[in-house]
Amino acid sequence: MGRFFYIQVIWKEKLHYLALDQWTREIPVHAGRGNIYDVNGELLAGNTAAYTVYARANAVEDAEETSSVLAELFGVGREELEKKLSDKSKSEIVLLRKTGKETVEALAGRNIRGVYYARDDVRVYPYGALACQVLGFTSFDGSGTTGVEGYYDSFLGGKDGEILYETDLVGVDLADATAAYLPAEDGLSVRLKLDYRIQSLAEQVMGRVLAESQAKAARAIVLDPSDFSVLAMVNLPSYDLNDIPRNDLSALNALSRNSLVSDIYEPGSTFKIVTAAANIEEGLKGNSRALPLNHVYSSSRTRTVDGTTIKCWSDHKNGKHSNQTLAEALNNSCNPCFVDIALALGKETFYDYLDAFGFGRATGIDFSGEAIGMLLPESIVRDCDLARIGFGQTIAVSPLQLACAAASAVNGGYYYAPRLVEEIFSEDGSVREKTERKLLHRTVSEEASRILSSMLEGVVRDGSGKKAFIEGYRVAGKTGTAQKYENGRIAQGKYVSSFVGYFPANDPKYLALIIVDEPQGSYYGSTVAAPCAQEIFQGIIGMMGLQKTEV
């Protein structure tokens, strides 16, 4: 009685499934993959109708004749088809993938026994290469592999269904048997924070600088500092999502990598935003170790720390390195001044700010493969290391980390979770999940942020960032020019030119980080990267119809 109960009740569902599998054969009904839209509802990834043709060798009456007919319909070799149709060891064989409607209509008209077809859509990307590393792509079976396609595959993919045919033991359809239909559940769609207009604009600008400077790569990220929404991510060179180089895995891996999230680099002088923010905040708190805002930094062009000499990149005025304030040090991008700040604050305090600004850990963006950067453990940091971290050396960050840190430094000190996706919804419009602004922690006070922003506005108005200046729009920012390292040594003649800027300075709405890797000829961030930010900001101003800001 116990065994009878187990079989009839406990084991019932599994036995039923096993029996069903014995007396039926299945034709898959593929779920429609969800679409991907930009923040405005513009389609960035969708589907076009396609079909996959199957066969059951046991149900094919004449393999030779059937293969001849199919070869004519499909335009493929008869011998290969006959070989497949003669293989009785497999219950189901794929004859043709992703074919068009005309092919299956012709196939249906022939009514060939043992041959079937099912809808199996092809993924299409209306804008080709636009945001290709962000969107990612799908594999041959339609599942998400990289980018948003991969990260949100569980939502986009849906659930496949089946058509069940009753057959005999060898898989031949039974006469007058009925078919059971298990419908597929289509995938949900995704709306991004990304704005395809800003993305397209940024790609045009970065494509131009890539060509003109003959650089190795050009990258840009545009954020909304009020909530860290990702409005654009540009990684060049890129590739067409409708023509993926699957036969060259090395090229595909390089071109499909979202370096803004997954790669790290020494930020150079753009990092001085963080150092300045830390010093200003500690001064407002009354920390006696912080250098006051009116502190005059020494005119010496060098600082020697632990036997290591650190130089300023240039003389400032008339061939002479002059005394200067913090605002002037930012304008002039003077390394020794930021050495003074880092050493004055000390290792413990400075590392507290590095942690607050998110360095050494992931930002938590909804994207796979995020880098955490390289930050020396506090316990082993020497003064010479701390001195170099102060001006953006001996530390490696992801571009996303730096963009988020800069945004937090100038938006009032609020550090949010960066997000690519706004909401997940079904095609009937019902929202399943929605991303809300998420404050992670504070970095500096609003007063410190305001003071810093006024200084960075001066960098664009009067200092090294002049080529990002736009009359009437209060652009602020910081340039950076960092030497590259190869095999632990400085690579002669190889630089990373960068600029992080935003506007309006008093209420940031758009922040852009520009990175040009190994530009030829001029390599300073002030001459290579800053003009790109200006052009992107001018495009946004025209696109959004933004009015000039009152000073």
What is the distance between the alpha carbons of residues 486 and 375, in angstroms, rounded to a whole number?
Answer: 18
What is the distance between the alpha carbons of residues 387 and 379, in angstroms, rounded to a whole number?
Answer: 15
The pTM assigned to this predicted structure is 0.89
Tokens 């000499």 found at? 309
28: left (phi over 0), alpha (psi -120 to 50) or beta: beta
What is the distance between the alpha carbons of residues 293 and 272, in angstroms, rounded to a whole number?
Answer: 15
Task: Give the residue among 370, 540, 425, 411 at the shortest CA–CA distance from 192.
Answer: 425
196-241+254-425+453-544 classified as CATH 3.40.50.720: no
Q: Environment class of residue 166 by beta-carbon count within 10 Å: exposed (0-12), middle (13-18) or buried (19+)?
A: middle
Task: Return phi, psi of residue 260, to 5°.
Answer: -65, -25
Task: Return phi, psi of residue 534, to 5°.
Answer: -60, -45
Catalytic residue, from 213, 229, 259, 269: name it.
269
Helix (H) or strand (E) holding 518: none
Architecture of domain 25-192: Alpha-Beta Complex (3.90)
What is the distance between the alpha carbons of residues 461 and 470, in angstroms, rounded to a whole number?
Answer: 9
Hey, where are the domains in the chain? 25-192, 196-241+254-425+453-544
DSSP string of 43-103, one letter each residue = EEEEEE--EEEEE-GGG-S-HHHHHHHHHHHHTS-HHHHHHHHT-TT-S-EEEEEEE-HHH
What is the distance between the alpha carbons of residues 103 and 115, in angstroms, rounded to a whole number?
Answer: 13
What is the distance between the alpha carbons of residues 308 and 157, in angstroms, rounded to a whole number?
Answer: 56
What is the distance between the alpha carbons of residues 370 and 421, in angstroms, rounded to a whole number?
Answer: 16
Active site residue 67: no
Length of the chain: 551
Report how far apart, in Å, the C-alpha atoms of 230 and of each of 100, 196, 319, 436 are: 37, 11, 43, 13
Task: Return phi, psi of residue 446, to 5°.
Answer: -65, -35
| Residue 528 CB neighbour total at 10 angstroms | 28
* 478 within 8 A of 272, measured Cβ to Cβ: yes
Pair of tokens at residue 42 = 């513009």
Residues in contact with 195: Cβ distance below 8 Å, sequence separation at least 6, in sequence order = 38, 39, 40, 231, 232
> pLDDT per position in the chain (551 positions), as tens?
999 999 998 898 888 766 666 666 666 778 899 999 999 999 999 999 888 888 877 778 888 888 888 888 888 888 888 888 888 777 778 888 888 888 888 888 888 888 888 888 899 999 999 999 999 999 988 899 999 999 999 999 999 887 776 666 555 555 666 666 678 899 999 999 999 999 999 999 999 999 999 999 999 999 999 999 999 999 999 999 999 999 999 999 999 999 999 999 999 999 999 999 999 999 999 999 999 999 999 888 899 999 989 988 766 555 556 889 999 999 999 999 999 999 999 999 999 999 999 999 999 999 999 999 999 999 999 999 999 999 999 999 999 999 999 999 999 999 999 999 999 999 888 999 999 999 999 999 999 999 999 999 999 999 999 999 999 999 999 999 998 888 778 888 899 999 999 999 999 999 999 999 999 999 999 999 999 999 999 999 999 999 998 66
